[in-house]
Amino acid sequence: MLVVASESAIIATVNGVHDMGGMDGFGAVVPEKNEPVFHADWERRMYALATSVMGAAQVNIDEFRHAIERIPPARYLASSYYERWLAAAEMLLVERGVVTREELLAKQDASIDPAWIANAVANRGPAPIKEKSGSKPPRARFSKGDRVRARNLNPAGHTRLPRYVRGKAGVIARDWGVFVFPDTNAHHAGTKPQHCYSVSFDARELWGKSANASSRDRVLIDLWEDYLEPIAAKSTARSIKKRKK
Amino acid sequence: MSDHHNTDDSGPAARVKALEALLTEKGLIDPAAIDAIVDTYETRVGPRNGARVVAKAWMDPAYRKRLLADATSAVAELGFAGPEGGHLVAVENTDRVHNLVVCTLCSCYPWPVLGLPPVWYKSFAYRSRAVSDPRGVLEDFGLELPREVEVRVWDSSAEIRYLVIPQRPKGTAKMSEDELAAIVTRDSMVGVAKVEAPRT
């Protein structure tokens, strides 16, 4: 089934079903014995096509990820991994006008339901914004050992700030250097290069004391500077006090 | 399991075929290049690469040091590099620390050293629970860790890709680097298993 723009492009909200950290109900992890790299020939082809698709549609990796996130939640959950890649590829190629839905469907089996075409709405992605050249690499606002809080951001669009860390306090563990900012890069709103840090969160800060965790267990996650705010020494003491009440 | 591949569904097969045919027709892809990519990831890039990195780190303290300081360069010394490997970081398991790698938002994975991720790594069960209940997830793999061992979960939310250096098992002192590489499993380099010494 072709994911059509009418279903996908409008639903661009960040708080999508792809942001799975901390969800329950998916059951046990079941490894497959002697698992092949691909489970079907179309998976092979889809995997290999992805890079070409990104080139053909002139999209970056963040836009590709965001396209996957724009798959309607029920469909996302019902699709396998490479089916999601396929849906994203079709979506981006059609949105960028590289191929039309009609062309894609005409190439497919004659049994394709024409209603899917009728439902489609042509929706081009935003025009690219050119970067200012010659800008200096940004300085790091934080350094190792700094206490920080993940901001409670809910931007309308792509982000790599998962819900489970928003509002939580952690410590800068490493500064990985400067990286392109996905939240803007996914929307052609500039690369906004900035420092990205490994931020360490106590498992109990994230999941509460009742969690199946020892007091030493931690989650380390890589967060861009714009996702973080400093915790001043004073406010730290206060917030700990508050939490103990 | 909702994330499992559905072999009865011919839908995606027809769609991928259409996509490839159309892009070829428009001159946007070269089918031979597609074949080469498939061959690379199906037969050449895989966890055997990572196993060689780990075995070398076990045998060569200077290499281990370089690997922990700058995994991208240390891995490149063995000839491994490529997409999803531009910013590699190695994290080492010890008696006191156990590392586990996940990508909760999608399925980021260190391709040059581990190849493409297995279905369980991409499964909703793993992506959701690895951060909130890593000890429970490890139990799904038959690995029970003592409470005094610190569990460190690495959520690959940015462009950093993590490789776990598992602990070298006891009873392997006389093994060669090649022999050691042969016992290092993919799962141990994601952090869901330990490396077992071969039974003699």
pLDDT over 90 at A239, yes or no: no
Task: Select which of B2, B10, B73, B108 is catalytic.
Answer: B108
pLDDT over 90 at B195, yes or no: yes
> Residue A169: what are its φ and ψ, rounded to 5°?
-95, 135
- Whether the CB-CB separation of B93 and B164 falls below 8 Å is answered with yes
- Is A169 part of a structural domain of the chain? yes
Closest in A27, A45, A162 to B157, CB measured = A162
Clarify whether residues A15 and A115 are in a common domain: yes
Closest in A37, A46, A161 to B115, CB measured = A37
- Is A126 part of a structural domain of the chain? no
Closest approach of A245 to chain B, Cα-based (Å): 24
Clarify whether residues A19 and A98 are in a common domain: yes
Return the number of other C-beta atoms located less than 10 Å from residue A138's C-beta: 12
| pLDDT attached to residue A138 | 87
* B3:A81 CB<8 A: yes
> Residue A175: what are its φ and ψ, rounded to 5°?
-105, 115
Clarify whether residues A65 and A153 are in a common domain: no
Closest in A32, A49, A223 to B34, CB measured = A49
- Is A234 part of a structural domain of the chain? yes
Clarify whether residues A90 and A164 are in a common domain: no
Higher local confidence (pLDDT), A225 or A131:
A225
- Is A130 part of a structural domain of the chain? no
CA-to-CA separations, B169 to A213, B82, B138, in angstroms, rounded = 25, 30, 18
* A206:B123 CB<8 A: no
Q: Catalytic residue at B108?
A: yes
Q: Cα-atom radius of gyration of chain A, to the nearest Å? A: 21
Clarify whether residues A112 and A198 are in a common domain: no
pLDDT over 80 at A41, yes or no: yes
Clarify whether residues A160 and A105 are in a common domain: no
Q: Domains plus CATH for chain B?
A: 11-42 (no CATH), 45-190 (3.90.330.10)
Clarify whether residues A85 and A155 are in a common domain: no
Q: Cα-atom radius of gyration of chain B, to the nearest Å? A: 19
- Whether the CB-CB separation of B163 and B143 falls below 8 Å is answered with no
Contact residues on chain A for B21, CB-CB shorter than 8 A = 107
- Is A59 part of a structural domain of the chain? yes
Chains A and B form CB pairs within 8 A to the count of 237
Q: What is the pLDDT of residues A213-223, one digit of tens each?
A: 889 999 999 99
Write the CATH number for A227. Answer: 2.30.30.50
Cα torsion through B39, B41, B47, B48, rounded to 10 = 30
Write the CATH number for A76. Answer: 1.10.472.20
Residue A53: its H or E element:
helix A41-57
Clarify whether residues A104 and A59 are in a common domain: yes
CA A66/CA B46 separation, integer angstroms: 27
Please name the residue ranges forming H helices in A196-232. Answer: 203-207
Clarify whether residues A165 and A107 are in a common domain: no
pLDDT over 70 at A205, yes or no: yes
Residue at a domain's end among A70, A103, A119: A119
* A160:B16 CB<8 A: no
Contacts of B199 (CB under 8 A, 6+ apart): none
Is B131 in a helix, a strand, or coil?
A: helix
With CA atoms as reference, report the closest residue to B15 among A60, A94, A35. A94
Give DSSP secondary structure letters for B15-62: HHHHHHHHHHHTTS--HHHHHHHHHIIIIISSHHHHHHHHHHHHH-HH
Q: Catalytic residue at B103?
A: yes
- Is A98 part of a structural domain of the chain? yes
Clarify whether residues A163 and A115 are in a common domain: no
Q: Please, which pLDDT band fits residue A104 given cuts at 50, 70 and 90?
A: confident
Total domains in chain A come to 2
Clarify whether residues A10 and A111 are in a common domain: yes
Closest in A18, A86, A164 to B15, CB measured = A86
Residue among B29, B99, B132, B141 with most chain A CBs within 10 A, to mutate = B132
Is A146 in a helix, a strand, or coil?
A: coil
Query: Is the Cβ of B200 closer than 8 Å to some Cβ of chain A?
Result: no
Query: Is the Cβ of B104 closer than 8 Å to some Cβ of chain A?
Result: yes
Clarify whether residues A173 and A99 are in a common domain: no
- Is A129 part of a structural domain of the chain? no
Q: What is the pLDDT of residues B7-62, one digit of tens each?
A: 334 489 999 999 998 998 888 888 888 888 899 999 999 999 999 999 999 999 99
pLDDT over 90 at A86, yes or no: yes
**The amino acid at B88:** L
Contact residues on chain A for B8, CB-CB shorter than 8 A = none
> Residue A221: what are its φ and ψ, rounded to 5°?
-135, 145
> Residue A208: what are its φ and ψ, rounded to 5°?
90, 165
| pLDDT attached to residue A134 | 60
Which domain does A107 fall in, by range? 5-119
State the distance between the two ends of chain B, measured CA to CA, in whole angstroms.
38
Residue at a domain's end among A70, A101, A119: A119
**The amino acid at A208:** G
Query: Is the Cβ of B127 closer than 8 Å to some Cβ of chain A?
Result: yes
Residue at a domain's end among A104, A119, A134: A119
Query: Is the Cβ of B92 closer than 8 Å to some Cβ of chain A?
Result: no
Q: Catalytic residue at B107?
A: yes
CA A53/CA A74 separation, integer angstroms: 25
User: What DSSP state is assigned to residue A3?
Assistant: P
